Structure 1
Amino acid sequence: MGQKGGGPDERPLAQPTPGTTVAGVIARAMTPPDGLPLDGPLAVAVSGGSDSLGLLLVLRDWAATRGITLHAVTVDHRLRPEAADEARFVARTAAEWAIPHDILTWDAGPAPTGNLPDQARRARYGLLTDWARDRGIAAIALGHTADDQAETLLMRLGRGAGIDGLSTMAARHVRDGVAFLRPALSLRREDLRNVLRAAGQTWVEDPSNDDDSYDRVRLRQAMPLLDELGLGVPALAMVSANLAQVRDALDHYTRAEAVRLVTQDAGGDILMPLDQWAALPPEIARRLLRAGLTHVAGPGYPPRGRALDQLMQALRAGRGQPLGGCLVQGTRNTLRITREPAAVAGLIARLTAEPASGPGAVWDGRWQLSGPFADTDEIRACGEAGLAAIPDWRVTGLPRATLMATPAVWRGDRLIAAPLAGFASDFNATLLRGLEDFDAAIRTH
């Protein structure tokens, strides 16, 4: 379906602001300093709903005027029978708009259990980042709007969330080297629907949007009443933005304390003087601890709330415990955050032969190994078995738990190399998340 009538630049906002248009708002959000300088193609994650499809249409024209290659990508979680048809609808629409499009599918297994929405969200970001890196795509735009922000604020308020949970969504963040942008955060959902209506373009209505067993649906149904009480989307968005300023100030002081207190050893562990960390204001101490967990375990959704508070209490009492894929200990006045051996016990990277000077393979998202691999070699955790084969591992000066969670090269059951444990055999392990990357772990919103 081609665009009809006025283009996106001519569409008025649902709540008009003098001198602004939908396309103008998005263009400003995509331009530095608000946006990111693009050094490669841009993609839009499109579900087929009005928000993401409207964003794709606006960014099609924006990218064309700047000579930027635009892609569209749809993730099919295979959780609803309609999802495959919706993905094909996006593919047809993108083809009509001359935009390359890919469909990514998630295999959740025969009967996924646990927090399925959280699993799907993690899987979606994982699929998108892998896809983007493979294609050299610099950034992926997401269709979140002010309505999403308001709904999220209310949902999190009901769960007793803190500053981070109640703050506005980040306009941009980076995961595994891929930038995610939200250029429509200041727009209403109706703004993007108006863009599509002007183009004669339909969109997909997710049937779950009418299922009032979901909290978000009930909040949407209650929004007209909240609006009458002065608690509509504009007011909620302003509150969220104000809280974001508070969050940013806390992050600023957290960064300053990180420069003062945080170090990293050869095993990739994050270290802080325990007494100085414990003397910090509780919120700054909490943020430093959470950032350390994120830095070691990798990006995602770091522990928050009660679990993090319990860990802080344990550390102040001289005890440690595992959390978020990490083992946190406080001994000899050192707060140490290491990768939990159990979290990587089953992690395997299979290799193909390459010269010792080759780029190697990445393991656990933070170690890159290079060396004279054989076709059948695997990178697995050093573990108990690896340390048992290295009698002098103690000369490294690294704790046992740290070394157990570091990468080793295995040929079947035989240890070929464990570079961090002092058994190299011409293999090298390079840490991909150094201390210079710690700042990114502080801002995880």
Structure 2
Amino acid sequence: MLDGPLSDLPLEDPDRLNLLFAPVQGERQLGLAVSGGVDSLSLMMLAARWTALHETPPQVRVFTVNHGLRKEAKSETEFVASLAAELGFEVDILEGEIKDPESRLQEKARALRYQLIGEAMDEQGITCLLTGHHCDDQAETVLMRLAKGSGVGGLGGMSKISVRQGLFVFRPFLEVRRSELEEFIDRQETSAVDDPSNQNKKFERVRWRQFMPQLNKAGLSSEMIGLSAMRLRRADQALNELTERIYDDLFVIDPFGCLFFDLAELSKQPAEIAIRLLARALDDAGGDGQAPTLLQVEALFDHLQSGVFAFKGLTLGGCGIKEKDGIGQIFREAGRLGEATINVDPGRSVRWDSRFQIIAAQDLTSPLCVVPAIDMTRNMLDNILPGLPYVPMQAVHSAPLVFVEDQIMALGEHVLAEGVDVFRSFGPNALI
């Protein structure tokens, strides 16, 4: 019988290992992101111990990336590859180059790692990636977001399981302190890679990392920050689910991608829910436009609440926002779409402005041509689609016009001829 919680056991204890890796026990293949630092080295060595406990464990493949930023990087990836082979894992050394490394270096390096690893995993049919993010990483992330005034979603930090660039990312150490990983490596016959950038104060994360001991002395530990983050993620999930239920009742999307909503009904919602509803609507209507910040959406809500909105309209997140007879309208700004023609060959499809999926039938003899309907007039619209309910022409102008030679095949989701199908293709972004 255990005398205490499993988290009190050493990391290499079989019961602790099974607890850490339980969420991926049923996976057929796993990828490990390993740089050679204490956290990722611990991940690789503990994964080897965990797989050894089971008769049919997942197949594990290690991915290590050379960004080309330091001369030691090549030997470090070779060190990782050698140790991975000793542990019985297949390994890929991936190489890439960061453009303009003088700005946002850590952010770009992280994006490059995920891109290269994601592409390699996709080629090999691996869908789940494990990383060595730990409790102290979580605390630093939360503090960085707190300093930027993030909302509930951002202050929830990293999730144990998330999706990034099509990959499921699992972080088994998110409740494990860095010091515990360091102690584990000290018990092994190896040394971790020491990246000097982890001590460079020009990086915000490093500054918070070096400040953490003072917070600990004041009584604010990484564990408590992580615990609060977990509870905020739980609250964020509940708020998101409630928002989605209300959204379907309160917002209507027409075939041109214009959203309509009752301003009075929106105002009846709790402020947090109303702001999330607006963010969801802006994301649906905004397509490839730059997503607004939480601060901007809050300002929009305040403006709507003020009662002086009726007027001239607003723009935000690549969208126009207007009001007519108490009904709000949110639509894509046509001027931000450009005028380039997109061709869709027979049998192919294209996702247009991240809002519409356009499919060309296999038996078409010519490609479909797709442009924004920027030149459409009200008279032309009435002739093409007589009897339509009211729609702002700005929304029509930002809808896809699909044609072959001189024949209009579709306008928005309105299909006017055989050989084409058009449907909305929306998806929400998180507010942090």
User: TM-score range, shorter-chain basis?
Assistant: 0.7 to 0.9
1:162 and 2:151 are equivalent in the alignment: yes
Given the superposition, is the C-alpha separation of residues 349 and 392 from structure 1 closer, same or farther in structure 2, using an over 3 Å criterion? Answer: closer
- Deviation for aligned residue 1:85: 5.7
Partner of 1:28: 19
Give the conservation status (yes or no) of the 8 Å contact 1:49–1:204: yes
CA distance in 1, matches of 2:16, 2:410: 53
1:219 and 2:208 are equivalent in the alignment: yes
Give the conservation status (yes or no) of the 8 Å contact 1:410–1:416: yes
Give the letter aligned to residue 187 of structure 1: V
Paired residues for 1:152-301 under 5 Å = 152-175=141-164, 177-295=166-284
What is the TM-score when the length of structure 1 is the normalising length? 0.73
Unaligned regions of 5+ residues in structure 2, if any?
Answer: none
- Deviation for aligned residue 1:106: 5.9
- Deviation for aligned residue 1:208: 1.4
Give the letter aligned to residue 208 of structure 2: L
User: Which of 32, 39, 44 does residue 51 from structure 1 map onto?
Assistant: 39
Give the letter aligned to residue 274 of structure 2: A
| 1:322-359 Cα deviation digits (max 9, x unpaired) | 433444444443444444445543888776x553xx6x
Partner of 2:317: 324
Partner of 2:338: 345
CA distance in 2, matches of 1:77, 1:423: 51
Partner of 1:7: none
Partner of 1:9: none
Give the conservation status (yes or no) of the 8 Å contact 2:359–2:420: yes
CA distance in 1, matches of 2:92, 2:165: 20
Give the letter aligned to residue 426 of structure 1: G
Given the superposition, is the C-alpha separation of residues 283 and 93 from structure 1 closer, same or farther in structure 2, using an over 3 Å criterion? Answer: same
User: Which of 420, 425, 429 does residue 422 from structure 2 map onto?
Assistant: 429
SS of 1:205's partner is coil
CA distance in 2, matches of 1:341, 1:75: 41
Given the superposition, is the C-alpha separation of residues 192 and 19 from structure 1 closer, same or farther in structure 2, using an over 3 Å criterion? Answer: closer
Partner of 2:372: 382
Given the superposition, is the C-alpha separation of residues 58 and 405 from structure 1 closer, same or farther in structure 2, using an over 3 Å criterion? Answer: farther
CA distance in 2, matches of 1:294, 1:75: 33
SS of 1:157's partner is helix
1:313 and 2:306 are equivalent in the alignment: no
Partner of 1:11: none
CA distance in 1, matches of 2:335, 2:72: 38
CA distance in 2, matches of 1:226, 1:381: 55
Give the letter aligned to residue 44 of structure 2: L
User: Which of 60, 63, 70 does residue 60 from structure 2 map onto?
Assistant: 70
Partner of 1:333: 326
Given the superposition, is the C-alpha separation of residues 104 and 29 from structure 1 closer, same or farther in structure 2, using an over 3 Å criterion? Answer: same
Given the superposition, is the C-alpha separation of residues 418 and 135 from structure 1 closer, same or farther in structure 2, using an over 3 Å criterion? Answer: farther
Give the conservation status (yes or no) of the 8 Å contact 2:135–2:176: yes
Give the conservation status (yes or no) of the 8 Å contact 2:356–2:425: yes
CA distance in 1, matches of 2:17, 2:204: 29
SS of 2:236's partner is helix
Give the conservation status (yes or no) of the 8 Å contact 2:374–2:398: no
Give the letter aligned to residue 56 of structure 1: M
CA distance in 2, matches of 1:133, 1:308: 36
| 1:177-229 Cα deviation digits (max 9, x unpaired) | 53222221111123334444444344332221111222322222232232222
SS of 2:8's partner is coil
| 1:4-39 Cα deviation digits (max 9, x unpaired) | xxxxxxxxxxx99434636755643544xxx47866
- Deviation for aligned residue 1:82: 5.6
| 1:256-285 Cα deviation digits (max 9, x unpaired) | 433432443334455432221122221111
SS of 1:212's partner is coil
Give the letter aligned to residue 36 of structure 2: G
Give the conservation status (yes or no) of the 8 Å contact 1:271–1:337: yes
Give the conservation status (yes or no) of the 8 Å contact 1:346–1:380: no
CA distance in 2, matches of 1:333, 1:105: 56
1:145 and 2:134 are equivalent in the alignment: yes
Percent identity over the alignment is 29
Give the letter aligned to residue 70 of structure 1: V
Larger radius of gyration: 2
| 1:285-307 Cα deviation digits (max 9, x unpaired) | 11222233345557999533422
Give the letter aligned to residue 278 of structure 1: S
